[in-house]
Amino acid sequence: MKRFDYIRPVSVDDAVAAFRPGAAYLGGGTNLLDLMKIGVIQPDTLIDLGRIAELGPIEMLPGGGARVGALVRNSDLAYDRAFAAAFPMVAEAILAGASGQLRNAATVGGNLMQKTRCAYFQDPHSACNRREPGSGCAARGGDNANLAVLGWSDACIATNPSDMCVPLAALGAVVEVQGPAGKRDIPIADFHQLPGDQPETETALQPGELVIAIRLPTEAADFARNARYLKVRERTSFAFALVSVAAALKLDGQKIIAARIALGAVAAKPWRVTAAEDLLVGQAPTEEAFARAADALLEGARASGDNGYKIELARRAVIRALQMSAAGTPKRMPALPASPFGDVAEEHSHV
């Protein structure tokens, strides 16, 4: 690991003022420190956000939304009673990711900013346009079975690995940032960037900007009764997704009034298509209606390597996740969060 200077500001203003090119903000360190050890990221200064109290709170907003400070630990958010009751699929997604130890350390800001798990990105000896612009993409002719089937480019076929971001995208969260030019809001749909010919530009953050909070809008709480996260992976726990789905419905009896769906692990950002959600409005929650929405969500999907299987897997996962959400949010967090091995209609509370 390259030697760095360490600073620990106590306010966001001081953190921003301390930033200069070559510095990196440190949250829980579970991604940054890992990548520094293997030489993928080599900051010359670490700006530790860990003591900035203003980044700490979880606030439930009047009217139904919420504001979550960037330093809130993943486990604290998932187990916050009020937050989890209002946004159950966010809690389920967080608990389906990483491990108990990692969730205790990982922050909301760091989770939002985590890097792709593409094996070649993580290997400084491989060609990787995302890590080293213009060097090529070793994944194109390599192990790409878990890489993107949507929104990829010839320059990069990597996926965003975050579970938490998938329901946040479905619910239209807003990312609050602060930087040298002041504060601004970025809709989560615009936060993570598709690779195009500049895969090294991973997010909409400008140099020196940091995430200070995420906000869930008032209407996001309307989906609490019918919201699920489904994560398909190679083992039941402690594995990244092959495909994941956040699916939520607002129901009036047997009629869908509104729907929210996003796919994870299929693109460089959580994949949401509002036209697919609109197809469900006014429909009954049937498998046929869900299949039409799934097809619309996956429109344009194509293999970028040995990963064509992910398209059909994603289609089926969307249908299943919608069925699970139609059956109702479980009364208690399932023993195996987001697992496909539960009964669709298991221990739900509201039907």
Ligand X SMILES: Cc1cc2nc3c(=O)[nH]c(=O)nc-3n(C[C@H](O)[C@H](O)[C@H](O)COP(=O)(O)OP(=O)(O)OC[C@H]3O[C@@H](n4cnc5c(N)ncnc54)[C@H](O)[C@@H]3O)c2cc1C
- What residues make contact with ligand SF4 under the rule CB under 6 A? 116, 118, 120-121, 128-130, 137-139, 147, 156-158, 199
210 binds, among another protein, ligand X, ligand SF4, none (CB under 5 to 8 A by kind): ligand X
CA 41 – CA 196 distance, rounded (Å)? 22
Sheet with strand 227-232: strands edge to edge: 227-232, 243-252, 255-264
| Chain length of the chain | 351
* CB distance 243 to 166 below 8 Å: no
* CB distance 230 to 340 below 8 Å: yes
One character per residue 55-94, x = contact with ligand X (rule: CB under 6 A):
---------------x------------------------
Local structure of residue 41 (DSSP, 8 states): -
48 binds, among ligand X, ligand SF4, another protein, none (CB under 5 to 8 A by kind): another protein
CA 334 – CA 318 distance, rounded (Å)? 19
Q: Least distance from C-beta 96 to ligand X, angstroms?
A: 7
Applying the rule CB under 8 A, the residues between 129 and 158 that interact with another protein are: none
Applying the rule CB under 6 A, the residues between 174 and 233 that interact with ligand X are: 210-211
The smaller minimum CB distance to ligand X, of residues 113 and 327, is found at 113
Q: Binding residue for another protein (CB under 8 A) from 42, 198, 237, 286?
A: 237
Q: Least distance from C-beta 30 to another protein, angstroms?
A: 5
309-327 and 287-297 are packed helices; what angle lies between their axes, rounded to 10 degrees? Answer: 140
* CB distance 231 to 163 below 8 Å: yes
**Local structure of 179: helix, strand or coil:** strand
**Local structure of 334: helix, strand or coil:** coil
**Which residues in this chain contact another protein in the complex, by CB under 8 A?**
1, 3-6, 8, 26, 28-30, 33-34, 37-38, 46, 48, 50, 75, 79, 98-102, 104-105, 236-238, 333, 335-337
